[in-house]
Amino acid sequence: MDIPVPITGLYAGIQAIIAFVLVAPIGRMRGQLGISLSDGSNPALTVAVRRHANWAEHVPFALLLIGLLELNGGSHGLLHALGGGLFVARVAHPFGLRAETMRSPLRGIGALGTLLITLIAALALLWKLL
């Protein structure tokens, strides 16, 4: 069976692995610290939770836009650029997210990159549809 959105499927699969890598430490820390809900005011757990939550807040919508763009005839080059850019941004972001500082180059690359990918995908989709 052919997948109608193979490029989006590729990047969705890659993002699922990133999501797994981000969520795995949370379960381990919760077990070690005995914290069932929230973060128990533990800075390390807070950072781990926010790393995964930030991914969950941004990546599904970006992938949805990329998938819709692919379904509507977006160019393969653009789709790979968006998917690859999202990959780079979402790998960079968690490495830059720290409790002790707001400013980090990797956090900035991840946050700005994700926002730009989402905006470009939205504008390209609107361009195709209008």
Tell me, what's the pLDDT at 61?
Answer: 98
Tell me, what's the pLDDT at 21?
Answer: 98
C-alpha 128/C-alpha 76 separation (Å) is 14
Q: 71: Cβ–Cβ under 8 A, 6 or more apart, which residues?
A: 4, 5
What's the average model confidence in pLDDT over 23-36? 94
Q: Flag whether pLDDT at 28 surpasses 80.
A: yes
Q: What are the boundaries of each domain within the chain?
A: 6-129
pTM of the model: 0.93
Q: Flag whether pLDDT at 38 surpasses 90.
A: no
65 exposure class (CB count in 10 Å sphere: 0-12, 13-18, 19+): buried
Residues recorded for the chain: 130
Q: Could you read off the pLDDT of 49-77 as tens digits, one per residue?
A: 999 999 999 999 999 999 999 999 999 99
Say which CATH topology domain 6-129 has: Four Helix Bundle (Hemerythrin (Met), subunit A) (1.20.120)
Q: Could you read off the pLDDT of 78-129 as tens digits, one per residue?
A: 999 999 999 999 999 999 999 888 899 999 999 999 999 999 999 999 999 9
